[in-house]
Amino acid sequence: MSGAPFVVGFDLDMTLVDSRRGIVECMQRVLSARGVTARDEQLWPLIGAPLEANLGGFLPAEQVRGAADDYRAVYLQHAVRLTTALPGAVELVELIHADGGRVLVVSAKAPAAVHAVLEHVGLRPDVVVGAVFAEDKAVPLRAHDARMYVGDHQGDMYAARAASAYAVGVTTGPHDEAMLRKAGADAVVPDLVALGERLNEFERAASTG
């Protein structure tokens, strides 16, 4: 790879890591403490969206800030250790680095939690940005000249489009191919293993698009 390094951005939850169990259990703990019961199937589709917005769907507005603080504390204590790298994630980051590229992680999760999760699963991106969602992710993507952004959520596709980056959806999260395409995905793959196999193809498309 010649010239400036090719920068690939990634979402975190359900894109690079399987964080479903920890997120759902922490949400249930925080909600239960406030007298609210939430089933797994209610919480799973919310993964990837901002925490306060998710809590606001279950709690009165005056309880959301305290619940969010409690969630973040519980998350660091309980959920990080339940999180695993998704198949192909470590290898894909290594492949990008071996090709002279750089890896940027941009997540809606609080920065401390992003760093804790990445450390736990052994992923070593070059840049980490937290606490941004959907089109707001375009700011760090543009700042670091990301040419491609990979995510499992509709908001990730909006971010890529807003940043003029090649949008790659993965169906390891709650959104299927049709939803990701509708949100603007240029390409959709079933997982990061498949993405690794097509990385050069997508890099060429991102460079010529």
pLDDT digits (tens, 9 = 90+) for 85-111: 999 999 999 999 999 999 999 999 999
pLDDT of residue 1: 41
Percent of the chain with pLDDT over 70: 99
Do 59 and 92 belong together in one domain? no
pLDDT-derived band at 208 (thresholds 50, 70, 90) equals confident
Do 28 and 55 belong together in one domain? yes
Give which of 90, 119, 118 is closest to 195, Cα–Cα.
90
Do 113 and 194 belong together in one domain? yes
CB 102 within 8 A of CB 8: yes
The overall average pLDDT reported for the chain is: 96
Do 125 and 189 belong together in one domain? yes
Provide the number of structural domains found in the chain.
Answer: 2
Last residue of a domain, one of 54, 82, 110: 82
Report CA torsion sign: 20, 23, 25, 31.
negative
- What residues contact 182, with CB distance under 8 A and at least 6 apart? 154
pLDDT of residue 4: 86
Last residue of a domain, one of 34, 59, 82: 82
For residues 156 and 177, what is the distance between their CA atoms, to the nearest angstrom?
13
- In this prediction, residues 56-68 reach a mean pLDDT of 98
Query: Which domain does 38 fall in, by range?
Result: 20-82
- What residues contact 53, with CB distance under 8 A and at least 6 apart? none
pTM of the model: 0.94
- Give 124-169 pLDDT, tens digit per residue: 999 999 999 999 999 999 999 999 999 999 999 999 999 999 999 9
Give which of 101, 153, 102 is closest to 132, Cα–Cα.
153
The verdict on residue 35 lying in a domain is yes
Pairing of strands 146-151, 7-10: parallel
pLDDT of residue 113: 96
pLDDT-derived band at 3 (thresholds 50, 70, 90) equals confident
Report CA torsion sign: 173, 136, 10, 207.
positive
